[in-house]
Amino acid sequence: MFTGIVQQVGTLRGVEPRAAAGAQDMRLEISFGDIARERLEPGASVAVDGVCLTVAALTPDSFFADASAETLRVTTLGARRAGARMNLEPALRVGDLLGGHWVSGHVDGIAEVLSVADEARSRRIELAAPTPLARYIARKGSVTLDGVSLTVNEVNGARFTINLIPHTLEVTTLHGLQTGARLNLEIDLLARYVERLAEST
């Protein structure tokens, strides 16, 4: 589990395609700094742009993780190239503060940025969610975009807006968002459970 509070921004150093059983998987090498060093070890989970991956191997300043063909299909990882900056969050440990919301690292779909506008000291981002996921996005509810826990300000059909405060702009990759950007979207787990409970009554 994760919280959607990015610990640091890493850099994609390299991408190695790997064929397995007719499918094209990929091994990623991602650099990291001191914040994540004590939390990463082979077998540990880490959210990379909101995608839960398993650390396969470590170097003194980077880790390797494998992304399956299915992960590449439903997330933006397959479009990343060497040099790309990526939001990183090691898995939550018992006793850690829950500063964001419960995040599984299982991406539900891809959201597209429709507009970007500065508002006072924040930045307003309008996005379009995949139509099947729109029902789970609620005003003042939570979403995760590229691994960042955010609060929804407005909802209009499949469109929704969020505001990025200066701290978020400073410590994540979201400061560089432009119209047309595609982001990994994970809806709030609670929305899924509420729907399931409603179906069973």
CATH classification at residue 25: 2.40.30.20
Look at residues 20, 55, 90 and tell me which one is the last residue of a structural domain.
Answer: 90
Global pTM reads: 0.91
Pair 48, 16 in one domain: yes
Distance from C-alpha of 11 to C-alpha of 30, rounded to nearest angstrom: 5
Residue 119 lies in a domain: yes
Asked whether the predicted pLDDT for residue 97 surpasses 70, the reply is: no
Pair 124, 76 in one domain: no
Domain range enclosing 20: 8-90
Dihedral (Cα; 102, 105, 106, 110), 10-degree rounding: 100
DSSP tag of 4? S
Look at residues 60, 90, 120 and tell me which one is the last residue of a structural domain.
Answer: 90
Average of per-residue pLDDT values in the chain = 90
Give pLDDT, residue 57: 94
Residue type, 42: P
pLDDT above 70: percentage of residues in the chain = 90
Asked whether the predicted pLDDT for residue 187 surpasses 80, the reply is: yes
Joined tokens for residue 29: 């090498």
What total number of domains does the chain contain?
A: 2
Asked whether the predicted pLDDT for residue 52 surpasses 90, the reply is: yes
DSSP tag of 91? P
Instruction: Please state the φ and ψ torsions of residue 70, each to the nearest 5 degrees.
Output: -65, -40
Residue 70 lies in a domain: yes
Pair 126, 169 in one domain: yes
Q: pLDDT band at residue 161, thresholds of 50, 70 and 90?
A: very high
Q: Positive or negative CA dihedral for 144, 48, 103, 7?
A: negative
Residue 61 lies in a domain: yes
Distance from C-alpha of 41 to C-alpha of 73, rounded to nearest angstrom: 26
pLDDT tens digits, one per residue of 22-35:
668 999 999 987 76
Asked whether the predicted pLDDT for residue 91 surpasses 70, the reply is: yes
Pair 66, 37 in one domain: yes
Residue 3 lies in a domain: no
Instruction: Please state the φ and ψ torsions of residue 162, each to the nearest 5 degrees.
Output: -135, 160
Give pLDDT, residue 38: 73
The DSSP annotation for 142-178 comes to EEEETTEEEEEEEEETTEEEEEE-HHHHHHSGGGG--
Scanning 28-171, the segments in alpha helix (DSSP H) are: 34-37, 69-74, 166-171
Residue 13 lies in a domain: yes
